[in-house]
Homo-oligomer: A and B are copies of this chain.
C-alpha cells in the first residue's frame, strides 16, 4: 500500500513532498498595500470572478518567511520544510462578495509548491528574502519599533521581480480592518494527451480555508514597492501606480480543508 498526499507515493510515506493534513504554519510577513491598473487586474481574473468597482485596483504584495509542520516534527527538519514566499493578492468580486484573488505566487520550496498547487496557488520557484527582527539589540536587529526599516525582495529565473521597503510608524490595534477578505484561487492541472490539451484535468475555482488564524504584532508604516519590467514575465502588468501603507506582522493558521467554489469542467 503506497502512502502520501502528493507524489512520490512510497510504502512508508516518508518520501512524498506532502503528507495528509493537518498542515500547520507560522510566519513573519511584510505586506504592501498598493494600487495597480484595474484593467490589468481584470485581465488576470478567471471566469466568474469580476472586477471590484469599489477597489480601483487595490492590491497587496506579500513577503513571508514560513515555518511549516505536519504531524511528524517537520519543523525540526528546516532544510526540507522551512521556506519563503511572495505573492500578490488583487481585490475582486465573486458571487457578489468582495474577495482577494491570487494571480502570482513565488516560493523557494518544492513541498510548498506541491501543497500550493493542490489548493490552487499558481506557485513558481523563486528566491525570496525579507529583513528579520532579531532579539539581540544592535544596529542590525530591526526591532518592532517606530523607525525600524525592513526590506524584501523576490527573484525568479535570475531576474528581480519585486523589491519593497517599509519604515515602521505605529502598532495596529485592529488588523481585521486591513486584512479581511477571503482568498480565492484557481486550482488547475493540465492534460497532455493529444487532442485534449485544451481540457485541463482539474479546473476549479477554490476558496482558501484556514483554522485558528492568528495575526499578531502588526505594525504599519511608510512603504515603497517596485515591480520592474522583466523579459517574458507578466507580473509587471500589476506594477504599482500608487503605494499605500506597509505592514509587518506575524501570522499563523492550520489547513485541513479546501472549498471548491466552482468546477469549470462541470
Contact = CB atoms under 8 A, between A and B. Distances in A.
Given A138-B212, A193-B260, A254-B139, A149 B75 contact: yes
Contact of A43 (B11, B28, B117): B11
A94 interface: no
B252 A129 contact: no
A155 B15 CA distance: 13
Nearest to A198: B20
A229 to B, nearest CB: 10
Interface in A28-80: 28, 43-44, 46, 65, 67-69, 72-73, 75-80
Contact of A82 (B132, B230, B250): B132
Interface string A171-190: 00000000000000010111
Interface in A123-159: 123-125, 127, 129-132, 134-142, 149-155, 157-159
Interface residues of A, number: 110
Nearest to A1: B43
Contacts of A11: 43-44, 234, 237
A155 B140 CA distance: 26
A242 interface: no
B140 A252 contact: yes
Interface string A1-44: 01001111111101101101100111110000000000000011
Contacts of A212: 138
Contact of A75 (B131, B135, B188): B131
Nearest to A5: B190
B110 A257 contact: no
A26 B253 CA distance: 28
Contacts of A266: none
Interface of A: 2, 5-12, 14-15, 17-18, 20-21, 24-28, 43-44, 46, 65, 67-69, 72-73, 75-80, 82, 103-105, 109-110, 113, 117-119, 122-125, 127, 129-132, 134-142, 149-155, 157-160, 163, 165, 186, 188-194, 197, 201-202, 212, 214-217, 230-235, 237, 250-260
11 contacts: A10-B44, A11-B43, A15-B124, A17-B124, A26-B141, A28-B134, A80-B158, A109-B125, A118-B190, A136-B252, A140-B252
